[in-house]
Chains A and B, each alone.
Chain A
Amino acid sequence: MISLHNVSKNFAGFQAVRSVNLTIPQSEIHGIIGASGAGKSTLLRLMNLLELPDTGEVVVNGQPLTSLKERKLRQARMSIGMIFQQFHLVLNKTVYENVDVSLKLGGMPKAQRQKRVMECLQFVGLENLKDKYPAQLSGGQKQRVAIARALANKPQVLLCDEPTSSLDPDTTIGILGILEDINKNFGVTIVLVSHEMDVIQSICHRVTVMADGGIYDTVSIKPKGISKVSSDPRNFFEQLKKGGEADDA
């Protein structure tokens, strides 16, 4: 569960997020959509205090992050996974090591870590690539490593900042499928930031629309299913043809 009370953030006078109130219940997949610069990423980064709010309170998994001391905050962050558009893997670590490091931070003994790393890699279907380096992987595979890394500490919340925005449609479907599985199998609350309506509509239970740093509205939707994200080449063709006709007219 995540609640934001009256949360604001400004960057050198620019109000990126303005007094937002938002509650996301446990096990919900919550979409955040809006134009570029609307404040989606900033709002997401406020949820694990990657950005410190100027005002307001951030409560995640029952803990008021905004009033925690540094050590407690770090512990709380271990229960909040995060993945990014650009993956942000450690390129000098193997796939295995990238997942392992997040467990090392929590001080887990080696034997247990080994077991957990392999579990996570199996979950995202990468156990065979465990000794590869990120530079040897495709974008979709890199995002899977990032997901495995975020899952390693069994988080209750997973924050996703445009996780599919640099991937092609087929790969996007794969990643969305994994996110949906994480939600269904482990009850993880997922916050999914995207500017692609297709992506948001496919798996989200509720969607917040942002504009100018504020919440325009939050609506419940019925997830359309992942197959509705267009990967069929005929869809591209149809869209191109439509564009062409518009030009002709």
Chain B
Amino acid sequence: MSPRYLPYILILPVTLFLCAFFLYPFLLVARQAFLSDGGYSLQNFRETMGYWKFSISLQNTMLLALAVVPVQVSLALLMATMVSRMKKGRDLVLYIWTIPLGISDLAAGIIWFAIFEQSGFLNSMLTGLGVIDKPAVLLGYQNPLLVFIAIALAEIWRATAIMLVILVAGIGLIPKEYYEAAEVFGASPWQRFLRITLPLLRPSLQTALILRVVLAFEVFAVVVALGGTLFPVMMGQIYSYQFDLQNAGGAAALALVVLAISIAFTLVILRALRVPKGATI
């Protein structure tokens, strides 16, 4: 067999798999998004994007991502640097820090709901300490900011570890000789972080950021558990079009909107963190 074709033959099975289970359904969804009343049009997009809840849920989704992702990046970088410096017990710490990864997002939402609800953990603690005299409704329409904070906290708790894992692996790949050279040539620990770790971590940061940002746009279960209908987000809208309103075309259109936003952000991240041509990292 000609070696020229070998690579293509080897990737054939996975290509077929992806076509059957990703590309084909995706094309179906795309078709559905543009199909209404038996013809192709932008009707579904006009309808869903014109609805009053669209802008508020888009805004909420963006705000949440904006609040959560930078905190997660900073935390993950800090934790990854700390873990990488540890000589002993580093695996144990890493396992503990990544426990939230093993918990589904709905379960995570429920855990945090148990903390914040009226008969929950936080209320009992505050009353027990005498800070408040009786349990308060924390996650109600009266406290939109608190709802937002609770959701952001749950998201940070739940999904920082995925970045951490990627960044720890990335930092592990940076040869220690670069740090030694930087140290000899006068770089302080902070300068070493800025001038060696960050630039050499760009490929891992790219991956971690793209993953997190895209997942942040898909936030759903945590929001449902903690905010219910108080905090509409994009995924919630898609869900209600599909299942409450039985409007599959509308759901498909919104799904494509989220996809477009995700792609746009991915491109921005790739561009912002690109490695200069010729530099091998």
* Chains A and B are bound partners: no
Which residues does A use to contact B, with CB under 8 Å? none
Which residues does B use to contact A, with CB under 8 Å? none
